Amino acid sequence: DGRPSLPHITCSTLLIGGEKDIFYPPDMLYQMAREMPNVQVSIYPRVGHGLIEQRKKEFEKEVLEFLAQ
C-alpha cells in the first residue's frame, strides 16, 4: 500500500481514469488526489479500465498536453 507516500510526491501528477473502472474507480483517484500536493484528475465518461485502448487519441492528447506544461 503506497498511500502513505502520496503526500511526498511533489512533481506534477496526472491521474487519469474511467468513470466505470472497477479496479481504480474515480472515488479512489479523487481520494489519492486529496493526499497529493500537485495533482490533476481526469475522468473519462462511459469508459472502464480499458480507457487507453478505447479513447487512445484523447488519452494521448491529454498526456502530451500535460507533459508540455
Residues 2-43 have pLDDT tens digits of 889 999 999 999 999 999 999 999 999 999 999 999 999 999
What is the value of pTM for the model shown? 0.90
Cα–Cα distance for residue pair 16/33, rounded to 1 Å = 11
Give the number of other CB atoms < 10 A from CB of residue 32: 19
Cα–Cα distance for residue pair 46/32, rounded to 1 Å = 21
C-alpha pair distances (Å), 68 with each of 33, 58, 60, 63: 21, 15, 12, 9
Q: Identify the bridge partners of residue 41 per DSSP, sorted by sequence position.
A: 15
